[in-house]
Amino acid sequence: MKVTFSGIARPRKGALILFVAPEQPLAASASALDAETGGRIGRARELAQFRAKRASFLDVVAPDGLSLERIILVGTGDPQDMDEDKWVSLGGAIAGKLAELKVAHATLRCEFGENTHHPAAVAALLALGLRLRDYRFEHYKTRSKDNGGPGAPAAVVVQSAAPAAARRAYARADAVAAGVHFARDLINEPPNVLFPAEFAARLKPLAKLGVKIEILRRRDLEKHAMGALLAVAAGSRREPHIAVMSYSGGGKEPPVAFIGKGVTFDSGGLSLKPPASMFNMKGDMAGAACVAGLMQALAARKAKVNAVGLAGLVENMPDGNAVRPGDVVTTMSGQTIEVLNTDAEGRLVLADVLHYALDRFKPAAIVDLATLTGAIVVALGKHHAGLFANDDSLADRLIQCGCLTGERVWRMPLAAEYDELIDSTVADMKNTSGRGAGAITAAQLLARFVGDTPWAHLDIAGVAMEGAKTETNRSWGAGWGVRLLDRLVADHYESR
């Protein structure tokens, strides 16, 4: 979909989209168009009893004499109730409607009742919603009839009273949307295509945006004594990697570190998953995908921040070399972990990557993302990610940014009482405590590898893949977290 911006003008083709609020007259230019058509738009609205609830639509065939094909009324609901997330969602809903109607060209007129000078930011937010919804993963389809339904319109013109300001606001949003799409592409790839080395290779284009890419391979991991991460990879023919993505846009300030779990396929290892639970494990690298998409977004919009992204890339498979239940592994930090369940592997990967990031980069803050536990899905379902943090300020920032972007988080507890559940009789800790408090004890283990650095862990198992469908995403892989963390950086870590 190509999105462009213009001032308020009469479109010459396609569909014209007009916004309507409950019990309010049409905006000035829409009223003029209604009068020109003999009041047909108003009559259609009245006959259809169109109440203008948010994201409701009334499709009107354009009257004779107009070069347009149709006029679509879109309800905003109460304009006072609209926030950033709702405007973006409304843009996504419009994209879905245009695809349903097979509209090739559309004009989105951003006029709202008597307020003809609505902020340009709203036009950009609507355009962001259009862009986020405009995603389909069809690389492996060979027949057009299997394409899964109508596509998005080829072009949308967003009209605004301040098109230049809207265009500037959208430029940043478009960079973020491209990062989301990049993350979705990575998550949706089949596991026979996207294994650790291939994931690392997909990062190379980020260098053109100014991201320094460094790939740590087995010999590097062995040199750093990353026994936990290497243990997870021991049963796979695919070599493990750590991808390090560095972006410097913030002077001499210490970086903010973002760390993603990148298990490109998780069979469970010797603690083998049941078949019904294994299909979606191609998405067990969604945390790493988010970090990659975030780094692309930050670099593309030239964020004034120093940021480093790390992805621990492994495949968890069973064979004669695989780590066994009962094994004890030694992490890079020197701490030891008793492996009770080889399907609790993500925390082993993150333990080494967290310590490596802390030791090498001395970051101002760390945020990790991982499809870590089924327990968080039981607790929160598919609408919130679990948030664990050792720093109240960082937790509050993430909660606020989640509300603004619609990528919401819910804070879960960390406490010494839970910490005791992972104490081991033969090692410093064990990698699982059983069914009770599973998401919490996984976070408690990770907390042992971050010291006093402000740190937040996002358990995204419920939201990252096969999650709840939203107006801005119909993809299996959601690309969840890119917008949340970009907003965190923009609001709290960029230099002014």
Domain that holds residue 280: 176-492
- The stretch 232-255 carries a mean pLDDT of 97
CA separation for the pair 174, 129 (Å, rounded): 10
Residues 197 and 123 in one domain: no
Residues 30 and 149 in one domain: yes
CA distance to 207, 234, 424, per residue, from 421 (Å): 43, 27, 8
Is 215 in a helix, a strand, or coil? strand
What pLDDT does 112 receive? 84
- The stretch 278-307 carries a mean pLDDT of 97
Could you give the residue numbers annotated as active site?
Answer: 273, 347
Question: Predicted confidence band at 149 (pLDDT cuts at 50, 70, 90)?
Answer: very low
Q: Tell whether 167 is covered by a domain.
A: no
Alpha helical stretches, state H, 406-461:
416-419, 438-447
Q: Tell whether 154 is covered by a domain.
A: yes
Residues 277 and 359 in one domain: yes
What amino acid occupies position 111? E
Residues 81 and 198 in one domain: no
Residues 153 and 192 in one domain: no
CA distance to 6, 86, 114, 192, per residue, from 78 (Å): 26, 11, 14, 49
What pLDDT does 147 receive? 44
Domain boundary among 128, 161, 194: 161
Residues 237 and 282 in one domain: yes
What pLDDT does 468 receive? 77
Is residue 490 classed exposed, middle or buried when 0-12, 13-18 and 19+ CB atoms within 10 A define those classes? Answer: middle
Domain count of the chain? 2
Question: Predicted confidence band at 144 (pLDDT cuts at 50, 70, 90)?
Answer: low
Residues 198 and 61 in one domain: no
Question: 3-state DSSP: the chain helix, strand, coil percent, rounded to 5?
Answer: 40, 20, 40
Q: Tell whether 43 is covered by a domain.
A: yes
Q: Tell whether 390 is covered by a domain.
A: yes
CA distance to 155, 260, 271, 383, per residue, from 379 (Å): 41, 22, 23, 11
- pLDDT tens digit string along 449-478? 999 999 999 999 999 998 778 999 999 999
pTM for this entry = 0.96
Q: Tell whether 168 is covered by a domain.
A: no
Question: How many Å separate Cα 193 from the centre of its chain?
Answer: 21
Do 449 and 358 meet the contact criterion of CB atoms below 8 Å apart? yes
Question: Could you tell me what percent of the chain has a pLDDT over 90?
Answer: 87
Average pLDDT over all residues of the chain: 94
Beta strands in 160-255 (DSSP E): 212-216, 241-248
The answer, yes or no, to whether residue 146 has pLDDT greater than 70, is: no
What pLDDT does 148 receive? 41
